[in-house]
Structure 1
Amino acid sequence: MPNFDEQIYAVLAQIPQGKVTTYGDVAKMAGFPRHARHVGKLLGALPKDSRLPWFRVVNAKGMISLVGESFTRQREKLLDDGVEVKENGVISLRRFQWDGQPS
């Protein structure tokens, strides 16, 4: 059985610039459906200097789930990435959601 962490990282590395996906979709694409919370925990444990685009993962409602400084950091990274993010952290999944296909 493939290693959970490695599979999640592999999916994460493929998310193109200017796109987002959900924790649940990352889990599903990695072969671990219904493990969205585990994805969130894994991303939360990434080192601060990680080059993986953790910030391109949002909740199923298309919102940033983080709070405080972490919320601001993710929002700024998404804005720099070309993703429109409202002040409250909402992103249009219809416009910006990655379908899992190579770009």
Structure 2
Amino acid sequence: MSTYENIYKIVRQIPIGKVATYGQVSELANLSGKPRLVGYALYRVDIASDIPWHRVINAKGEISYSPLRQGGDYTQKVLLEQEGIEFNTEGKINLRQYLWHPGNY
């Protein structure tokens, strides 16, 4: 299995209404210290794919802005809100409430 496929396998496990951080996904994929690699892998995913790319956010609880994503940031926020995830007035997600804990679901 390729590195990217391993990342996608982890991301597919994130349940509806939960998020994971890039760092968390990198750890679970045995890519410790490589959260940017997770970002690169998810950037390559077609927005309409079966990989729930929108459930991966940064460690601050924010959507990581990408000028190359062409509306993907807005789309990511909308998709998360449709799953019941709320953003505070600063555009952050409460990680205590919404962070995925593998094995607890």
Pair in the same fold by TM > 0.5: yes
- Report 1:1-80 matches (<5 A): 3-67=2-66, 69-80=71-82
Q: Is residue 99 of structure 1 aligned with residue 96 of structure 2?
A: no
TM-score, normalised relative to structure 1:
0.90
Shift of 1:102: 5.5
Aligned counterparts of 2:46 and 2:89: Cα–Cα separation in 1? 26
TM-score, normalised relative to structure 2:
0.88
> Pairwise CA RMSD of aligned residues?
1.6
TM-aligned CA distance change 1:23 to 1:16, over 3 Å:
same
Q: What stretches of structure 1 move > 4 A for 4+ residues in a row? A: none
8 Å Cα contact 1:14-1:102 kept in structure 2: no
Q: Percent identity?
A: 37
Count of matched residue positions in the alignment of Structure 1 and Structure 2 = 102
Residue ranges of structure 1 left out of the alignment (5+ in a row):
none
Higher helix residue share: 1
Residue ranges of structure 2 left out of the alignment (5+ in a row):
none
Aligned partner letter, 1:51:
D
Aligned partner letter, 2:33:
R
The secondary structure found in structure 2 opposite 1:14 is coil
Aligned partner letter, 2:7:
I
